[in-house]
Amino acid sequence: MQSWNLSEIQTPGGSRSPVVLRSDPGARAVLIVLEPGQALGDHQVKEGALVSVVDGAVRVESGGETIEGTAGCFFSFEADERRSIKSESGARLLMVFSPWPGEGHYRGERPSP
């Protein structure tokens, strides 16, 4: 068994220093802290994403919809779904990407000729 106290993990630099908690072919779990005013700007990934607000508050925008979320809120995004996540006051997020890596995810490797 592995366990983590998400409230105690240090992430100096906020969103610039995400912490990968676990990664295997099924999923990747990442802790990201948004310092006040930080954002994960408009983006998309090749994996489905589950995002839980552990602490703080966020504004999530996707598909023309905006939702304000606080600790305890849970979001689900399809693969390739565009979104942005912003926090005026700061937030701690647990993100789970599945499958990992998703089809078409660039891993820096070139296919063999």
CATH code for the domain of 94: 2.60.120.10
Provide the mean pLDDT of the chain: 88
Is 74 domain-assigned? yes
pTM over 0.75: yes
Residues 10, 30: Cα–Cα separation, whole Å: 13
pLDDT tens digits, residue range 33-71? Answer: 999 999 988 888 888 899 999 999 999 999 999 999 999
The domain total for the chain is 1
Give yes or no for residue 102 having a pLDDT over 70.
no
- In-domain check, residue 25: yes
Residue 107 pLDDT exceeds 80: no
Q: Answer yes or no: is 60 within a domain.
A: yes
Range of the domain at 39: 18-98
HSE-up of residue 33 (Cα within 13 Å, Cβ side): 14
* Mean local confidence (pLDDT), 9-34: 90
